[in-house]
Amino acid sequence: MTISVNTHYRENDWFASGERGVSELNRTGDSYRIVAEPGEPLARLIGQFAQLRGMSNRRCSSETSSWPEPERLIAMNAQVFAGLGIAKRNELKSQVEAGRTLYIRGSKPGATCKLDPFGPGSFELSTTTNASSYRFTNDILVPNAIRNEAGSLSLETPGAQRYHPMLRPLLYARYSNDERPIIMAMQCGAGTILFDLTPCPPAINEPILHRLADPSKRAANIGALIAVDTARGRDNTIASAFDLVMDDRPANFDYFGIGRLQNFLDHANSLSPGVHIDFAWTPNQTHISRRYLSVLQTFNTGFVWHGFLRHVDHNQIEDLDGEIAAGRALVNTLTKKYGVVFQNVMVFPYEATNTNILARAGREGFLATMERADSRPDLDDALPIHLSYSTAAHTLGDEYVPIIRRYAPAMLSRGVMLAIATLGYPLIATAHPRDAALRRFKYLNSNGVSFRLFDHVFAFAGEKKLRPLSLEQIAVELQQNNNLWKAPLNSNESSGVSAFPLSAYL
C-alpha cells in the first residue's frame, strides 16, 4: 500500500520553485552546446541525457557569432561537421584540445569522413546498412557494466571501414559477413571526439531506463550517454553498488527459520561472493533469537530501520513524536542487548508515507529511505517522461529524506539490471521473507526452490563484479555524487534543450 504525495505539494515545491532546481543544476557548472535546430532529434536526444546527468544547456541567441565558454560537450550532426570550413574546424579543434568532448552523430552510407585537422587520415562509411547484432568493446569510455556485451540488433546503419588506427571502436555492428564499428572515439589533445554513426532516432519520450534495457534500442541511445558521461569525466571503471534488502527480519520468536537463513545466505554467497544483505528490523521486535543474529553476523549483513517503532502504516500514526521517541529508546536497547548497529536508513512498512513523514525522517537524521522503483507514479509523473524510472532516487527537495529506488526480483530482467548498472546506479533488490523461504512455518521442498527467485540477480552481481555495499554506504555515495542523486526536475523537454544556432556555422 502506498499513499501518494498530494498534487498540491508537488506543484508548489517542484514547479513553482523552479529557481531552486535551476541553481541545483548550475551547481555543477557544466553545460553543453548543440549545433542543431532545437526540434531536431539530435538536440532532443542529447538534451535528454544531459538533463539526466544534471547538465545545463547554454542559451544562445541567434545573433551570437562567437562560441560561448565554457562548455564541456559539443554535439553536432555529421552533415554539419562535414560542411565545416577549415577556419571553423581549427576553432573547434582548439576547443576540443582544451578538454571538451565533441559528439558527432549520424552518417551517410558510402561517404568519407576526413579527420583533418583533428588527426590524420579519414574513414569510410559502408554502403551496406543492415546490421543484425552488436558487440561493445572494453574501451575505457564504455561503462564497465556493458563492456563486451553483445546482442541482436535490427538497425539500419552504416559501419566504418578503412579507419585510421587512432579511432578506437566502442561498439561494433555485425553485417552479413563483416563486423564494423558504429561508435568510435578519438583522443584530440585533452579532449575526445566521438563518432556515432547510427542514425539519430526520432525524438521519443520513452524513459531512458527502458531504452537502455531494450537491446534493440540500446545501440541507438548509448552514444548519447557516453558523450555526456565523457564530457563529465565519469570514471567508467567503478562498478555499481549492489545490496539486497530483506524486510521484516529479524522478528520476535523466529526460532525455526535459522537453518533456512543459513541456507539462503550460503546460496547467495555461492552466486555472488561477499554479497551484502540488509535486514529491515522493526524496533518493537525485541525478542530475537541470538542464534539467528549470530548466523547473520557470520555473513556480510546489516540492519536498517523498518518503521519508527511499529510495523504499521505510518500515515495512520497520530502521535508521531511519541512513536519516534519510543522507537529510539528501543533501538538503544537492541543495540546494547545484541551488540548490533542500526544504519541511518529507513524502510517504511508497506512503503507507506506522506510528505510530513518524509520531512520528519529527514529531520531525524535518516540519510535515505527505499521504495520500489515503480511505486510512485505520482512522483514519476512530475519528472519529464524520459526521466521517469530513470533516476537513482526520487528527490523531493533538501528538506525531505531522499527515496532510493529498489527493485523486486521479478522486475529485474537482465536488460533492466544492465540499464541500471550502465547508468552507474546502485542495484538494490528487495525481498520479503516469503520470497526466500525465511518465513516461519513455511516448509521448503528439499531443493530450496524458493531461493531461485534471486538467482539471476545474484548471478548478475557476481558476473559484473558489482560492489557489495550497505544501504547507508549507498546513500552516502549517492549524496557525494550529486548528479546521480539529484536529477533535474525543473524543466520539461522543450525548454531543456536549446541549440547553438546553425547560422553561426554556415
CB of 284 to Zn ion, least distance (A): 13
CB of 407 to Zn ion, least distance (A): 16
Tell me the three cell numbers of residue 31.
Answer: 553545460
CB of 74 to Zn ion, least distance (A): 50
Identity of the residue, 136 or 305, whose beta carbon is nearer to Zn ion in the bound complex: 305
Identity of the residue, 370 or 474, whose beta carbon is nearer to Zn ion in the bound complex: 370
Q: Which DSSP helix (H) or strand (E) runs through 105? A: strand 101-105
Identity of the residue, 242 or 305, whose beta carbon is nearer to Zn ion in the bound complex: 305
Using CA atoms, how far residue 36 sits from 47, 134, 183, 440, 498, in Å, is: 11, 28, 20, 62, 9
Using CA atoms, how far residue 359 sits from 297, 309, 363, in Å, is: 33, 17, 6
Strands (E) located in 202-354: 241-246, 277-281, 301-305, 342-346
Identity of the residue, 245 or 382, whose beta carbon is nearer to Zn ion in the bound complex: 245
CB of 317 to Zn ion, least distance (A): 15
Q: Count of residues for the chain?
A: 506
Residue whose entry in the numeric block shows the C-alpha cell 564497465? 144
Residues 6+ apart with CB under 8 A from 235: none
What is the DSSP secondary structure assignment for residue 148, as one 8-state letter? Answer: T
Is there a contact between 231 and 49 (Cβ–Cβ < 8 Å)? no
CB of 388 to Zn ion, least distance (A): 26
405 forms bridges with which residues in the sheet?
Answer: 371
Q: Which DSSP helix (H) or strand (E) runs through 169? A: strand 168-175
Identity of the residue, 247 or 254, whose beta carbon is nearer to Zn ion in the bound complex: 247
Identity of the residue, 368 or 370, whose beta carbon is nearer to Zn ion in the bound complex: 370
CB of 369 to Zn ion, least distance (A): 13
Residue 416's nearest CA partner among 195, 109, 210 is 210
Is there a contact between 130 and 157 (Cβ–Cβ < 8 Å)? no
CB of 318 to Zn ion, least distance (A): 21
Using CA atoms, how far residue 107 sits from 111, 327, 350, in Å, is: 8, 62, 51
Identity of the residue, 239 or 312, whose beta carbon is nearer to Zn ion in the bound complex: 312
Q: Which residues bind Zn ion (CB under 5 A)?
A: 247-248, 349
**In this structure, what are the phi and psi dihedrals at residue 355, rounded to the nearest 5 degrees?**
-65, -35
Identity of the residue, 49 or 279, whose beta carbon is nearer to Zn ion in the bound complex: 279
CB of 282 to Zn ion, least distance (A): 7
User: From CA 178, how far away is CA 175, in angstroms rounded?
Assistant: 5
